[in-house]
């Protein structure tokens, strides 16, 4: 009799286990599959609506995503209800929740990004830890006064002026003079050349050239 009761209890336990396993299988089979949505769009700046290239676009669920191309375009798959995060250096991160994709299981969106401005306190940068340290290091150089005298002689203003006169015009001044002469030639093309005896501009240029010593080399 005891053996019969033990067998009955054993079969009842197995029956309840199989019923629970069957119910779990039915629940899994009736679960609505999550819809995959193809998300495509543009990432632009909020102030000028210009495309934002190489911005990061990823799913917060698994931190997987993509980057925008040079025209700010992106495309990645996501599940309905996923949160897409947009980020780029110098811009405030944004997030968007993916809705139902409709019959074609795809959506298009345009995500504007605002600039992230960070204000920092005023800072002073010195090449030395303190002014006292700079003074001590500068005095330790032991500069010779003769070197200063040689530098003053090399920078004699009269000698520099004479050398500049000998050198003549540089490239920019020569090209400017040629362009002015070409402009005068085009203005008098097909007619008799004008005389500059009564031209005040020509007299001013002549006096300035005489004062600068430009006529000595001629």
pLDDT over 60 (residue 4): no
Residue among 106, 102, 61, 107 at smallest CA distance from 85: 61
pLDDT over 60 (residue 13): no
SS3 (DSSP) at 196: coil
Domains and CATH numbers, the chain: 36-113 (2.60.40.1120), 131-189+196-212 (no CATH)
Alpha-carbon gap, residue 40 to 72, rounded angstroms: 11
Higher-pLDDT residue of 158 and 72 is 72
Q: How many CA atoms lie within 13 A of 102 on its CB side?
A: 6
Phi-psi category of 168—alpha, beta or left, where left has phi over 0 and alpha has psi -120 to 50?
left
Task: Give per-residue pLDDT as tens, 121-180.
Answer: 888 777 777 788 888 887 887 766 666 666 666 666 666 666 666 666 667 777 887 887
The answer to whether 111 and 40 are in contact (CB under 8 A) is no
Q: Band of the pLDDT at 97, cuts 50, 70, 90?
A: very high
The answer to whether 94 and 85 are in contact (CB under 8 A) is yes
């Amino acid at each position: 009799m005891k053996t019969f009761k033990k067998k009955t209890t054993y079969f009842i336990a197995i029956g309840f286990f199989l019923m629970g396993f069957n119910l779990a299988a039915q629940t899994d089979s009736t679960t609505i599959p999550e819809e995959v949505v193809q998300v495509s769009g543009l990432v632009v700046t909020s102030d000028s609506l210009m495309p934002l290239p190489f911005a990061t676009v990823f799913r917060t669920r698994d931190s997987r995503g993509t980057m925008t191309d040079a025209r700010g375009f992106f495309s990645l798959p996501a599940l309905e209800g996923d949160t897409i995060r947009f980020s780029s250096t110098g811009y405030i991160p944004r997030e968007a929740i993916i809705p139902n994709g409709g019959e074609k299981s795809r959506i298009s969106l345009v995500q504007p990004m605002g600039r992230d401005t960070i204000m920092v306190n005023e800072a002073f940068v010195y090449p030395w830890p303190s002014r006292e340290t700079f003074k001590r290091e500068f005095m330790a150089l032991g500069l010779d006064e003769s070197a200063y005298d040689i530098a003053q002689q090399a920078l004699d203003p009269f000698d520099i002026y004479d050398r500049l006169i000998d050198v003549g015009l540089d490239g920019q001044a020569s090209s400017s003079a040629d362009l002015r002469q070409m402009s005068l030639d085009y203005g008098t093309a097909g007619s008799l050349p004008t005389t500059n005896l009564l031209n005040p501009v020509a007299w001013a240029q002549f006096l300035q050239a005489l004062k600068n010593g430009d006529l000595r080399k001629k």
